Amino acid sequence: MEALVCKGCNKIFEEPLSLSCGDLLCKRCVESSKDNKCKICKQEVTSSILNQTVKSFVQSVTVESCCNHKKSTPCYCLQCNSFSAIDQIQITYH
């Protein structure tokens, strides 16, 4: 599930951006860059686009209340700021 966490700030993606360098960072990290460089590879970022696939997946496994105490379905809990039932998460491609 580390693919759902921004490598720039270590928080779950809210607005994941695919950058011209090929890396994926959250919008906060891109906007906070003073020199317009990627926080991961340090290359100049010339363009970025919202990664709708990652955003949709994050939304599908994110819940507001603490799922660790209420249910065993796989999710990212915003209250606990962590994943639960991580071993049960299965990604399927259509």
> What confidence score (pLDDT) does residue 59 get?
82
73 and 46 share a domain? no
Q: Are residues 23 and 68 in the same domain?
A: no
Pairwise pLDDT comparison (39 vs 63), residue with the higher score: 39
Same domain membership, residue 3 and residue 36? yes
Structural domain boundaries, residue 66: 61-94
Same domain, 56 and 69: no
* Greater model confidence, 40 or 4: 40
With bands split at pLDDT 50, 70 and 90, how would you rate the model's confidence at 83? low
- Structurally, the chain folds into a number of domains equal to 2
For residues 75 and 55, membership in a common domain is answered with: no
Secondary structure element (H or E) that encloses residue 49, with its range? strand 48-50
> Which candidate, 78, 28, 63, places its Cα nearest to that of 48?
28
> How many Å separate Cα 84 from the centre of its chain?
16
Other CB atoms within 10 A of residue 79 CB: 12
